[in-house]
Amino acid sequence: MARIAYDEGDAAAFETNRHLSDEGLHAWREAVGRHLEPHPGQRLLDLGSGTGSWARAFTSWFPGVEVLAVEPSAAMRARSVYLPVVAGHAGRVPVADGVVDGVWISTVIHHVPDLAAAARELRRVVRPGAPVLIRSVFAGRYDGLTLVRYFPEAATVLDTYPSVAEVETAFAGAGFRTVALERVAQTTAGSVAEAAAMLRRDAHTPLKLISDEAYDAGLARLREATDPGPVMDTLDLLVLR
């Protein structure tokens, strides 16, 4: 089971709060392009595609690349901005053996209950040498997140996420090895005021899992903040082959 069940309310919050702007996505386009080496006819699996923002971005960035969007939540699939999207999860990907040229897993790995089983399933579907790109916040590596600054209790939740070492060990058992670990900075909002106005608790697992009191206090801090400039966040990109 995932850490939270994505119902209609969660999907709606995710749709309004977790779609980055073109500017916010720029660094991710460069990072994905370096490791995926996109070309027409390539087949990319977007595992845990959510409301489809990444799948839509990939088809825009990389003409001719086919994106297979797989999402376990019916509520998320119903709101997907990318079609088609099919039901499935990390332990059961509904594609044939060896037909995928790359896998994208964005802020999903902490919802996977059995990393070793997921790694074996991905080994089944990817072609030899195809990259698995995992965009995530890993345990102990959240110092670049704005949310932790205003909601410090969220760090306790993030420390329960898989670590880089835990993911590497699980995937090594299926024959994957790490080829890159890099930090990618993104523009999440134009200002702190904008971030406060657009924040939806249901869109962020760490915020859903802290107490109401901690959330209210953090939201008050965020609304009172006067930090200049855009809100920048840094997440990890772990690449395995």
Return the number of other C-beta atoms located less than 10 Å from residue 135's C-beta: 20
Q: What is the pLDDT of residues 50-63, one digit of tens each?
A: 999 999 999 999 99
Per-residue pLDDT, 194: 93
Residue 29: predicted pLDDT: 95
Q: Where residue 1 falls among pLDDT bands split at 50, 70, 90?
A: very low
* The predicted structure's pLDDT at residue 25: 85
**pLDDT 10s digits, 88-102:** 999 999 999 999 999
* DSSP at 3: S
SS3 state of residue 129: coil
Output 39-44 pairs: Cβ under 8 A, ≥24 positions apart: 39/64, 39/65, 40/64, 40/65, 41/65, 41/66, 42/66, 42/101, 42/102, 43/68, 43/99, 43/100, 43/101, 43/102, 44/68, 44/100, 44/101, 44/102, 44/103, 44/104
3-state helix, strand, coil in the chain (%, to 5): 40, 20, 40
**Average pLDDT of the chain, as a whole number:** 92
Structural domains of the chain ordered from first start? 8-140+160-189+232-240 (3.40.50.150)
pLDDT per residue over 173-184, tens digit each? 999 999 999 999
Order of strands, sheet of 178-189, starting from the edge strand that comes earlier in the sequence: 85-86, 66-70, 43-47, 102-106, 132-136, 231-240, 178-189
Pairing outcome for strands 178-189 and 231-240: antiparallel
